[in-house]
Every structure is written in structure tokens, then in C-alpha cells.
Amino acid sequence: MSENREAGVEAGLTLGADGMLRLTWPRGAVITTADAERAMLRVNELCGDDRHPMLVDMATAAEVSRGARAVFGRRCQASRIALLGTSPVDRVLANFFLGISAVPCPTKFFISEPDALAWLALT
């Protein structure tokens, strides 16, 4: 069992002046259900009653548990979500998640951050 799984991992979360949420995970993170719950709680607390587009950098995560994927499939204060990855494996994982999960808002995978930000700005 990895150290990340035992200790839990903390996502970085910011809400920029542009109204964009940015969620990042530490390199090599193993994201558990509890980690995902904490991250989504922080998203909702930070947003309050407002909804914001969210960029999720998934390139550094090593593993996302089944329970965490279920949490990420719940509605939160994100108005749309861009999943940012860097590899074909990231794309396969994102497409698998998007194909089997009912996503709570428009969600799309990107390998280009500028493309992801442009899509998020459409809201």
C-alpha cells in the first residue's frame, strides 16, 4: 500500500480572478474515496452558491479508486469540467470514466491546457 493511500492526499484547489476553479493532485497520488470527498467538499465550500468552470489536472495522479470515480460523478458547484491529461493512458482513463459514468455537468478531456481553458470559458 502506498504512503499516499495510508495518509490520504490533499488536492490543490484555487478559484482564480477569472472565475475558474483549478484542481490539482500531487504527483503519484492514489486518490481514494475519502480524498475525492474532501476535494468536492472544498469545491462546494469555495464556490458557495455560485457555479464555476473547473480545470482538473489529472496527469499527476497515479490511480483513482472506483469509489473516488463515483464521488466525481456527483453534482457539485462546477458548471463544466475539463479533464487535463498528458498521455494516451490519461485519455483512455478519462474516456472510460466518461463512457460509464453519468457526469453531472458537461465534461471533456483535453491534452492542451489552452484548449481546455477556451472550452471552459464558453460558460
- Dump the DSSP string for 11-78: -EEEE-TTS-EEEE--TTEEE-HHHHHHHHHHHHHHHTT--EEEEEE-TTEEEE-HHHHHHHTS--SE
**pLDDT band at 97; cut points 50, 70, 90:** low
pLDDT value for 3: 38
- The 10s digit of each residue's pLDDT in 19-57 is 999 999 888 888 899 999 999 999 999 999 999 999 999
If you ran DSSP here, which 8-state letter would residue 8 be given?
A: -
Among the CATH numbers 1.10.1060.10, 3.40.970.30, 3.30.420.10, 3.30.230.80, which is that of 3-120?
Answer: 3.40.970.30
Distance of alpha carbon 96 from alpha carbon 45, whole angstroms: 29
Q: Which residue has the higher pLDDT, 103 or 82?
A: 82
Whether pTM > 0.85 for this model: the answer is: no
If you ran DSSP here, which 8-state letter would residue 103 be given?
A: -
pLDDT value for 5: 41
N residues, the chain: 123
For 66-70, 88-92, 106-110, 111-115, which range has the lowest pLDDT when averaged over its residues?
A: 88-92
If you ran DSSP here, which 8-state letter would residue 80 be given?
A: E
Q: Is residue 20 within 8 Å of 51, Cβ to Cβ?
A: no
pLDDT value for 99: 66
Q: What are phi and psi of 89, to 5 degrees?
A: -65, -40
Domain segments of the chain: what residues?
3-120
Distance of alpha carbon 3 from alpha carbon 14, whole angstroms: 25
